[in-house]
Each structure stands twice: as C-alpha cells, then as structure tokens.
Amino acid sequence: MSAGETAQTDEDCAGQSVRKRNREATRRRLLDAARDLFGEHGYDGVTVRMIAAAADANVALVNRYFGSKAALFGEVLTGESALREVITGTPDAALLPRRLAEHVVRQTHRAPPSPLVRMLDRSVGNPEVQEILREHMNEVLVEPLVAKLDGPDRRTRATLAAMIIMGGGPVRRMLDIDDLRSADRAALTARLTNMFAAALG
C-alpha cells in the first residue's frame, strides 16, 4: 500500500468515526426529547415532528434510528431501569418488601415525578403502546421478582406486588396525594413494607 493510500484509509476511518459519534449524539438527543415530551403530553399528545424539532434533528431520523414512534417509546422505557435495579440489586428476597417500599416512597415524594412515571401515567391507556408497556413491566418488575422468590405461586405473588406499585398511577391521576407526601416517611415506608410482605410472602 502506498503512502497516499494509507493516508486515504486513515481519513476514511476518521470520517467514519466522526459520523458514528454524530449518529450516537443525534440518537441520544432524540431519546432525551422523546422522554421529556412523552412525560409531559403522553403518547397521544406527541408527534414525531415534535420529537425531531425538540432534538434539533431531521424528522426522517426518527424512523431511521427507531423504526416508529411506538418503537421509540419502547426504547425510552428500556433506558429507565431504576425499578429493575432495586429488585436485582437486593441480595436477599427477605429484603425486597422494604426495598420496594422505599422505592415507592421516593417516587411519591419526588417533585416533579420522574419522566418514566409521567410517561406511564399519561400513556397507559393508549392501545398502540399497551403491548410495549406490558412487556416493559414484565421485564423490569414481574420477571425480576419471580427470579428472586422461592416457593409456590411465584408469578402470582410478583403480580400482586406489581399491582401495588402500578396502582399508584390511577391514584395520582384522580386524587391529590399531598396527604401521602405530608405523612411521616418512616411510617409510610413501614406500612408499604407490610403490604409488599403480604403480597410476596
């Protein structure tokens, strides 16, 4: 290979590296914009054009990188794994009721609610993403709990715990939860710990 060919190869590699970084940066901007917009408006209230504009990207890139708005919604959910980390990071299943209770109390007192919580609250009724949401909750909540539990009816017990967690969405939408936020955090955590212990036991 001549010196000229070597230089050309180096330039090609450098160009490919820059393009890859640009693609990754644009993809990240689209994910961040989608997370914020879905959280603010729900799935129905967001268009692909809104996401592209917020990310300062060409609208065609949404389909190129993600395939569809629904697939982008699913990708955003995949990146939000705090609940799965709470479960998988708990070494002893006996500690799960307390850890789950602490997680719920943290989310209750978080203001504003996390983007994931807002996304779920505002999008759960949309039929286009119900299967995505079902798969997400199974992956980050039910299956990790099943893997931690021993004994019979593990999936039933995990699903009961999921109901306690996911029931918070309708409550937030329909009721003022200031009473929960103003309650003693230790007492609230203790009550929820008992609820999770009963569900998982």
Q: Are residues 42 and 87 in the same domain?
A: no
Position 66 pLDDT exceeds 80: yes
Q: Are residues 37 and 61 in the same domain?
A: yes
Domain span including residue 50: 3-73
Last residue of a domain, one of 25, 40, 73: 73
The CATH number that applies at residue 53 is 1.10.10.60
Q: What pLDDT does residue 129 have?
A: 85
Tell which wins on pLDDT, 91 or 113.
Answer: 91
**Structural domain tally of the chain?**
2
Q: Are residues 182 and 89 in the same domain?
A: yes
Position 181 pLDDT exceeds 90: no
Q: Are residues 104 and 124 in the same domain?
A: yes
Task: Provide the whole-model pTM.
Answer: 0.73
Tens digit of each residue's pLDDT (9 = 90 or more) over 160-178: 999 998 876 666 666 667 7
CA angle, 45 then 50 then 52, to 5°: 140
CA 137/CA 59 separation, integer angstroms: 29
Q: Are residues 44 and 90 in the same domain?
A: no
Position 29 pLDDT exceeds 80: yes
Tens digit of each residue's pLDDT (9 = 90 or more) over 114-134: 777 777 777 877 788 888 888
Write 156-162 long-range contacts (CB < 8 A, 24+).
Answer: 157/199, 157/200, 157/201, 158/200, 160/199, 160/200, 161/100, 161/196, 161/199, 161/200, 162/137
